[in-house]
């Protein structure tokens, strides 16, 4: 699955427990009629993927949905969901040229002012 949106917040890397479990959270705001603010967590070595991104950047994040079951001390079963990111890409603003390279400005071209009527029929074949 993928989520696209603008980065609203990037948290610091947090370390938990004796084994050094690492987690870092990013909040992305979707661009739709009713924007959603989605907290996506990156864990372990994936936390470093967020180092090259900043608040305000448009990104596409590949995610997995995770669900856990937990029984509290009173014996009640609780369920928790999380969104876990595993890849992040910068989304460049799309151009309207449909993949064509940009056209240089008119000033980049030299004027063709020395054309003669006789020169137009100078084909070698």
- Domains of the chain, by residue range, sit at 2-92
What are 90-119's pLDDT values in tens digits? 997 655 555 566 666 655 566 666 555 555
Name the superfamily (CATH) of residues 2-92.
Answer: Nucleic acid-binding proteins (2.40.50.140)
Distance from C-alpha of 30 to C-alpha of 41, rounded to nearest angstrom: 16
Distance from C-alpha of 23 to C-alpha of 38, rounded to nearest angstrom: 16
What are 7-57's pLDDT values in tens digits? 999 999 999 988 999 999 999 999 999 999 999 999 999 999 999 999 999
């Amino acid at each position: 699955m993928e989520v696209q949106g603008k980065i609203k917040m990037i948290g610091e890397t947090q370390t938990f427990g004796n084994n050094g479990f690492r987690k870092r959270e990013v909040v992305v705001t979707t661009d739709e009629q009713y924007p959603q603010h989605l907290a996506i967590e990156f864990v372990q070595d994936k936390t470093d993927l967020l180092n090259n991104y900043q608040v305000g950047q448009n990104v596409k994040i590949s995610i997995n949905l995770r669900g856990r079951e937990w029984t509290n001390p009173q014996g009640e079963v609780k369920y928790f969901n999380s969104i876990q990111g595993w890849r992040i890409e910068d989304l460049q603003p799309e151009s309207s040229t449909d993949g064509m390279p940009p056209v240089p400005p008119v000033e980049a071209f030299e004027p063709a002012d020395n054309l003669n009527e006789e020169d137009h029929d100078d084909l070698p074949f």
